[in-house]
Structure 1
Amino acid sequence: MSGFEFESLEKTLENHIPEDELTQVKRILFGNSTKKLELPACAVSAASERDFELQGHMFQCASEQLRPPRRIRVGLIQNRIVLPTDAPILDQISAIQSRIAEIVEVAAMCDVNIVCFQETWTMPFAFCTREKELWSEFAESAEEGNTTRFCQELAKKYNMVLVSPILERDGLYSTLWNTAVVISNSGKVLGKTRKNHIPRVGDFNESTYYMEGNTGHKVFQTQFGKISVNICFGRHHPLNWFMYSMNGAEIIFNPSATVGELSEPMWSIEARNAAIANHCYTCAINRVGTEHFKNEFTSGDGKKAHHDLGYFYGSSYVAAPDGSRSPGLSRTRDGLLVVELDLNLNRQISDKWSFKMTGRYAEYAEELAKAVREDFKPNIAKE
C-alpha cells in the first residue's frame, strides 16, 4: 500500500485494534471521544451521489447554570482540483466553483453555520512551479472579485458564514497576497486577513508570488462567534495562533495545502496543540490529490526536476480546547466534515487550566523586545 492509498489512521486502528482496547487507544491518541452527529438522510444520500465523504461529530461540553449553550456547527471542505492544471483558467475556476457549490449545499442540509474552504481553493497550488505569469491570472479582488461574489450568493442563500481563501490582487499597487475573505451570513464582506508567514522550504518557496501579510491578527465577530484564519504555514508558528487567541478568537481556522512527505507527521499535532494552549477551537483543512504541471520544476535541493508536489493528504479535523479532536476526513477523497461544538467549552477549560491567567506575558514581551535587537546576548550561565 502506497502512502497515497492509505485511507486514514482512524480506519486502520478500527480494522486492527481489538474492540476492547480501541476505546483506550483512541482516548490516548485523540482525547475525550466525540459523539457521532446524526446527519439528515438527504445529506448522506447527496454526499454519496456526489462522491464525497461526509462525517458528522459533536464535542461534549458541560451545561452551565448561568449561561445557555452556545452550540454552532462548522463545516470543513477538502477537495481536489477538478480539471487539469493546463485547462483554460476560467474553465478551471468554474469547475471548482460547481464542485464547491454542491458540497456547500450538503453543508446547508446539515445546518452548518460556518464553512471554511482550503487554501487558495479556486486554483491549483502552483506556488512551486517557479512560473508566475500564468498563475497570477487567478488573482482577484478580495472585495469585488468573481469568487467573492460567488461566495456572497451562497452565504445569503444558506444563512452561512463563508471563509474563502484566495490569491488576492490588491488593486492599488497590484500586489499579490495569500488572503482569506470572510463573508457574513448576510452576504456582506466582513473583512479579509492575509497570510502572515510564507514558507521557504522544499518545493514551497512562495515568497516570489505574494507578500507576508500586513493585516495583523484580525478576528471577525460573526453571528456564530468570533473567528480568525491562520493560513497554512502560520500553523508552524505558536505565537501566530497565540495572537489570534489574544485578540479574542473562539475558533481559529487553518486552511492549508500541504503534502505527505513534508509535513504529515506534524499535521495531527499542531492545530490540536494550539487548541489546548490557547483555550479555543481550531480547524485544520488540507486539500487532497496530486496536481501535475506541464513544465517540470526543481526545488534547488539537488533532486531531479519533477512535475508535481506529491500528494496532498487531506485528513482535515477539528480540535477542542480540552485536548480532544474529531476523527479526520480521508487522506484521499473529497470530503465535508461537520462538527457541532459549544463555545462555552473555551471558558470552561480556561477556568480549569488557566494557561492565559498563569502566562507571564509581561516577562515574555520584555525578553522578546531584547531578543530582536542586534546587540542581543542570550541569557546563558557558564562555568
Structure 2
Amino acid sequence: MKSYLAAAVQMTSKPALTQNLVEAEELIELAVRRGAELVSLPENFAFLGKEMDKVAQAKEIADKTEHFLKKMAQRFQITILGGGFPVPVGDNPEKAYNTASLVTPDGQQVARYQKVHLFDVNVPDGNTYQESSTVMAGTVIPSIYESEHLGKLGLSICYDVRFPEFYRYLSRQGADILFIPAAFTAFTGKDHWQVLLQARAIENTCYVIAPAQTGNHYERRYTHGHAMIIDPWGVILADAGNAPGVAVAEINPQRLQQVRQQMPSLQHRVFV
C-alpha cells in the first residue's frame, strides 16, 4: 500500500438516469484532475426518484450504470466505487437489490455488495421511508478487496453505518478503508451523519470514505450532503459541504500504522 489521493463525490441526483451519469462523469473528471486514484460515488448516484419508478426502471439503470462504471475506470485509469444502484432480483419485477460495485482500472468488477440493512424508518420530520417495499435485502457481507496499491477495502451502504457489528466484521478481515456511500436524509444527517462516520473510523482504526447525496431530489426528498473522508483517529480530512462537488484527501499507510500502534484497541478486544 502506498500513499495516494481518494475522492468522495457529492451529487444531487434526480429521477433522470442520463442526466445523473453526465453529472457523475463531470465530477469524476474533477476528482481525477485533483489527483484522485480512488473515486467513490454516492448511493443512488444513477437515479434518485420514487421507489416504484426506480424498480420499474431497474434493468435499464443497472445495465447503463455497470457499463458507465467500467468505462470511467478504464478512461481515467482509476479504481471506482459505484455506491448504490438498483439491480433486478431475477424475474421479480417488484424488487431490486441496492448494489455497490467496485471496478478497477482494467474495467473488472472486483467486489460487489447488496445492501443488507434496509431503511424502513418514520423520520421525525414527517417523512416515512420503506426501502423494503421495493428492495430485496442482501444476506452476505462481502469479503474485503485487497489492492496492493490502495489497501484493503470494505464495502457498505448508507443505513449500514448504524450497525457497528457490520464494520467490526470488515475490521476482523483486516480492512484499512471503509466505504460508506449514502443518501442520508437531511433531518437525520444534521444530528447523526458526522458522529456515526467518526465512530466507525475510530473504533476500527480505519479510514472512512463517505460519498454523499445533497439537496432536493424530488418533492420532499432532501439529503444532508457533507461527503467526507475521515482518518483512523477520527479527524475529518475533507468535507464537501452542501453543494455538489468532491472531497479529496490523502490515504496514508504510515498514518494508519501510527494510529494502530498508538491506539491498539483492535488487539485488546475481549468479545469477538
Does the CA contact (< 8 Å) of 2:13 and 2:44 recur in 1? Answer: no
TM-superposed CA distance for 1:151, in Å, is: 1.3
Question: Cα deviation per residue 1:303-348 (whole Å; 9 max; x = unaligned)?
Answer: xxxx413x212111111112211242122x1111111120232232
Q: Are 1:104 and 2:38 matched, yes or no?
A: no
Does the CA contact (< 8 Å) of 1:123 and 1:138 recur in 2? Answer: no
- Aligned position for 2:125: none
Secondary structure of 1:94 counterpart: helix
2:76 is aligned, of 133, 158, 163, to 158
Cα distance in structure 1, aligned partners of 2:89 and 2:130: 21
Q: Are 1:339 and 2:249 matched, yes or no?
A: yes
Rg larger in structure: 1
Structure 2 unaligned regions, length at least 5: 123-127
The aligned length equals 264
Q: Which amino acid aligns with 1:137?
A: A
Q: Are 1:199 and 2:124 matched, yes or no?
A: no
The 5 A counterparts of 1:232-247 are 232-247=158-173
TM-superposed CA distance for 1:149, in Å, is: 1.0
TM-superposed CA distance for 1:269, in Å, is: 0.6
CA RMSD across the alignment: 2.0
2:229 is aligned, of 318, 321, 325, to 318
Cα distance in structure 1, aligned partners of 2:92 and 2:238: 43
Does the CA contact (< 8 Å) of 2:73 and 2:80 recur in 1? Answer: yes
| TM-score, normalised with respect to structure 1 | 0.65
TM-superposed CA distance for 1:261, in Å, is: 1.8
Q: Which amino acid aligns with 2:115?
A: K
Secondary structure of 2:237 counterpart: coil
- Aligned position for 2:264: 354
| TM-score, normalised with respect to structure 2 | 0.90
Does the CA contact (< 8 Å) of 1:141 and 1:170 recur in 2? Answer: no
2:240 is aligned, of 308, 321, 329, to 329
Cα distance in structure 2, aligned partners of 1:225 and 1:286: 22
Q: Which amino acid aligns with 1:325?
A: I
Q: Are 1:70 and 2:2 matched, yes or no?
A: yes
Larger mean Cα displacement after TM superposition, 253-262 or 178-187 = 253-262
Runs of 4+ in structure 1 displaced over 6 angstroms? none
The 5 A counterparts of 1:1-383 are 70-81=2-13, 85=15, 92-127=16-51, 132=52, 134-140=53-59, 145-164=63-82, 165-171=84-90, 175-202=95-122, 203-222=128-147, 223-292=149-218, 307-309=219-221, 311-331=222-242, 333-362=243-272
Q: Which amino acid aligns with 2:235?
A: S
Distance 1:239 1:125, change over 3 A: farther
Cα distance in structure 2, aligned partners of 1:171 and 1:72: 39
Structure 1 unaligned regions, length at least 5: 1-68, 86-91, 293-306, 363-383
Distance 1:193 1:286, change over 3 A: same
Cα distance in structure 2, aligned partners of 1:288 and 1:73: 23
Secondary structure of 2:198 counterpart: helix
